[in-house]
A = this chain, B = another copy of it.
């Protein structure tokens, strides 16, 4: 617009110079020139864009968009935050969860985002975050690229306006995932993680099929039709249950997997539930990519009770998905080598002296999910002692102004771990006893 206005000024100037003997017309042209200058100022005050940043700096200045992220390194949470620029994440479904997930990853400075959706923005989407009323009518992919490229021009955005459940859509989906141009040296296919943020069973089964075929780790997400529960799930082909391994569990998790777009039926949705699910999903994505903390195999969110169920699912040897069975066989065949590597690593490391240490030991090949499973079978004596101390503090109740209770939150975490570690027999005994009364 500014260029057009500049040309306009030149036009008016030419006109004025061709009318030297018309003072009244000249003053009218002067007035128009002032008007154009005013319009130029108006256009200039419209949104400016931030410039690209070459290297992520940890410098603490207000103008550094990455200072608060690079601080994660200084605080010892992440070893090398800047690695995030090497990663490609595919987000399938740019709705209530997918759009927020895309914005979070964009603000975190992810290297490359691949976005898939075929839908358009409607006013009915305005009760969830991200899309704005002025984007109504645009495709969700176009609207997302518009907003995300303004927020962070450093992120490489690739958008695909297509339906992955169609034959052609699936082909494009597969070839886009395989494309390694962004980082030719990387292992595996062209993306590091696939996030499924779709709202129907059919699309989930398609993502499942693609990831099983490509041996690609992915994360599932979903929100129930009544808007008050949701979940995220990590799927590693061959190692964990795939989406086809355990269909009934999906029903158990409270998610209605039939399409949400049935004629005349309108699912409820809330920006809160969607925001929490997107936050948990991207948090687990960051933990998975940047190798910190514990990546949850399954995490549910029951909004009515603020309850967060967790579970783990092994693959089903009778799974109906042929590619899943292939991945399962590969995983079993690789077991001896994996065990040997784990054993070598274990011998190398000194014996951890607390549960906390145990959890923080990260293993590249196995991820810490497996390590946590191992810790279930044996509990070192020091950890037991520490647990008893923590529980004693809890049992004595909360004493205000007592500096000792600084460790209360820590005690609660330990207690929860203790409950997971203890077998359930004791609890059953107690209930049998109650029932006999």
Contacts and interface: CB of A to CB of B under 8 A. Distances in A.
Interface in A261-278: 264-273, 275-276, 278
Nearest to A134: B47
A129 B152 contact: no
Contacts of A435: 381, 384-385, 388
Interface stretch (A11-19, A212-220, A339-347): A11-19
Nearest to A226: B75
A408 B38 CA distance: 66
B275 A104 contact: yes
Contacts of A406: 248, 251-252
A305 interface: yes
B294 A248 contact: no
Given A108-B270, A127-B108, A8 B35 contact: yes
Interface stretch (A166-174, A182-190, A310-318): A310-318
A4 B38 contact: yes
Contact of A32 (B11, B61, B76, B405): B11
Interface string A220-237: 000001111000000000
Interface in A416-437: 416, 418-419, 422, 424, 426-428, 430-432, 434-435
A299 interface: yes
A150 interface: yes
Contacts of A407: 252
A270 B246 contact: no
A398 interface: yes
A222 to B, nearest CB: 12
A332 interface: no
A304 B293 contact: yes
A179 interface: no
- The winner among A136, A254, A400 for most chain B CB atoms within 10 A is A400
A352 interface: no
A151 interface: yes
- The winner among A58, A61, A63, A398 for most chain B CB atoms within 10 A is A398
B61 A124 contact: yes
A294 B307 CA distance: 10
A296 interface: yes
A134 B279 contact: no
Interface in A85-141: 100, 103-104, 107-109, 122-124, 126-129, 132-134, 136
A226 B72 contact: yes
B311 A49 contact: no
A284 B273 CA distance: 11
Given A228-B293, A402-B248, A435-B384, A422 B413 contact: no
Contact of A65 (B50, B68, B126, B286): B126
Interface string A8-28: 100110110011000011001
A322 interface: no
A338 to B, nearest CB: 23
A156 interface: no
A127 B409 contact: no
A37 to B, nearest CB: 11
Q: Which 3 A/B pairs are nearest by Cβ-Cβ distance? A: A293-B304, A276-B279, A71-B268
8 contacts: A63-B122, A68-B227, A72-B226, A77-B228, A246-B400, A248-B403, A276-B279, A311-B412
